[in-house]
Amino acid sequence: MAYDLTGKVVAITGAGSGLAQAMTIGLAEAGATVVALDVSESNLSETMNMAASSGASGNICPHVFDVSDEAYCSGAVSFALRECGGLHGVINCAGLGMNFLDPDFHSRPVRFWEADTVRWNKIIDVNLRGPFLLAKAAAPHLLEQKWGRIVNVTTSFNTMIRGANMPYGQTKAGLEAATNGWSEDLEGTGVTANVLIPGGAADTRMIPKESPYDRSKLVKPQVMIAPARWLFSSDSDGVNGMRFIGRDWDPDANWRDAMKAAGAPVAWPDLAAGAKAGQPAKMT
């Protein structure tokens, strides 16, 4: 289903590569103004060039920033409001993977006691603390205008708990849990918090070229575009506390059918349902 997002302003972290780069271009092609946030100026230039080649009708406002720095996050919101015409939501997609902890992690498991503490802390800062800082900075404006979206990119549940995959897995589990909590805090405000994931290992720089994966079988970043467009449209009004799998979203289907096929409650359904009902969580 096609969406015209003219007038919407969306801030996306990690916009210089991977999933976020695909969503940046895809949202701009739908007419949105995208505040493209990334730590790398050269990566942002690549995204700008790709968007220009695609003929995107929307505007992309590149802004170099560090998601792990609170001042940068506050500054990014101010930049969007001052230079880009407003702000209607954020997509927290910037992330560091296990290759940041150890480039050889695909061939040599990294046990938690072997982790470099400085790099471990940096992954936590970028993947978990950063989304909180940007959402915290954006929320007052979104609440004031009574419309907004917070979209967090996490990962599959098995990836969150896999051995030799920490702290990447635990940061995504933490962000998944945070999304459930934020969605409850935001209920009834016109602002929503949801999760969007590709639905498998994605063909991005997070998986090094020398890894054992067959890249032809990796999920393409473009699967994130259709659900991201829908999330920033009025059709998703009131949809809160959900997780959507990009690979399962049919861009040609009616959005209700696509949402049903690709969506489920955010976090761990039994636990989240119990928490929402005020009941003790059932631990298994």
Domain that includes residue 14, residue range:
9-276
- The count of C-alpha atoms lying within 13 angstroms of the C-alpha of 173, restricted to the half-sphere facing its C-beta, is 13
Closest to 63 measured CA to CA, from 71, 54, 72? 72
Query: What is the structure's pLDDT at 106?
Result: 81
- pTM: predicted TM-score of the whole model, two decimal places: 0.93
Residue 3 forms part of a structural domain: no
Q: What is the CATH number of the domain that holds 267?
A: 3.40.50.720
How far is Cα 119 from Cα 243, in angstroms, rounded to an integer? 29
Helix (H) or strand (E) holding 196: strand 191-197
Count the domains in the chain: 1
| pLDDT of amino acid 284 | 30
pLDDT, residue 275, reads: 52
Residue 2 placed within a domain: no
What pLDDT is recorded for position 280? 41
Residue 137 falls inside a structural domain: yes
In a domain, 167, yes or no: yes
The overall longest dimension of the chain from CA atoms, in Å, is: 53
Q: Considering Cα of 21, then 24, then 26, then 28, what sign does the dihedral take?
A: negative
Residues of the chain with pLDDT under 50: 279-284
- 45 in any annotated domain: yes
Local structure of residue 202 (DSSP, 8 states): B
Q: Is the dihedral of CA 128, 265, 21, 77 positive or negative?
A: negative
Domain membership flag for residue 86: yes
What contacts 24+ positions apart, CB below 8 Å, involve 216-219?
Answer: 219/246, 219/247
CA distance 136 to 238: 20
Asked whether residue 141 is domain-assigned, the answer is yes
The answer to the question of residue 284 being in a domain is no
Q: Give pLDDT, residue 203.
A: 84
